[in-house]
Every structure is written in C-alpha cells, then in structure tokens.
Amino acid sequence: MGNFQLQKKLITFKNKEKALDFLVSITRELEDLYIQYWGSATHNKTLSLQIIRKQTQFSIFLNFAHKKYKLDNKDTIDKELRALIKNATDGEFDSLNMMQDTEKSTKISQFINNLMLALLENKM
C-alpha cells in the first residue's frame, strides 16, 4: 500500500508542475500580446480580444489548479495578476484613441516577471 501512495503523490506532484508550466506559458503569451498591442501605432481590435481571452483563460486555469493542487500562494498570484492586468490595460486600452506606448513594454515585463516568480514558488 505504501508504494501505491508514493506513486499517487508523485503523479500529483508531476501534474501540479505541468499545470504551473501551463500557467507560465500563458503568462509568456500574454506578455507577447501586450507588447504587440502597445507597440502598434493603431488600435487592433483582434489583438485586444486575444488579450482579454488569454487573461480569462489564465484566471480560469489558475482557479482550477488551486482547487486541484492547493497552491501555496494563490493570493499573491491573484495580486500579481491584477497588477499586471491593471497596468497593461489601463489608459486607452481597447479604445480607438489608443496610442503606441513602448514604455509600457518595460513595465509589463516587470509585472510578468513578478507573476512568473509567484507561480514558480509553487514548484519548490
């Protein structure tokens, strides 16, 4: 029986790592989308919709992963995600008046790094 329990724990641990890796990959995709959006000289409705969908996907999967694997710092992850979204979508986001803002890229990268670090803390 002990061997079965150990195998079950190992499988759960590996699945948790895969879930965290998936969240990190979504985070990287979000970063690329934000940088493309704010690097553009004009509003891109398709890109803004992709960003909104990706943000929603992250939130849904984060809730699933926490429910399934009890992430140690879900509150921190939520806080970092909210900060990222607020800073990446403030101002003229999804507006026809949107202007290119390359300075946002640097700020967005800082928020992305904070979010990824919070996610990776669950792997240790």
Q: What is the CATH number of the domain that holds 34?
A: 1.20.58
Tell me which residue has tokens 């399934």: 68
pLDDT, tens only, 96-118: 888 899 888 889 999 999 999 99
Question: What residues make up the domain containing 97?
Answer: 2-123
Structural domain count of the chain: 1
DSSP string, 17-63: HHHHHHHHHHHHHHHHHHHHHHHSSS--HHHHHHHHHHHHHHHHHHH
Torsion of CA 51, 53, 55, 59, to 10 degrees: 180
Buried b (16+ CB within 10 A) or exposed e, 49-64: ebbeebbeebeeebee
Entry pTM: 0.90
pLDDT tens figures, 61-97: 999 999 999 999 999 999 999 999 999 998 889 998 8
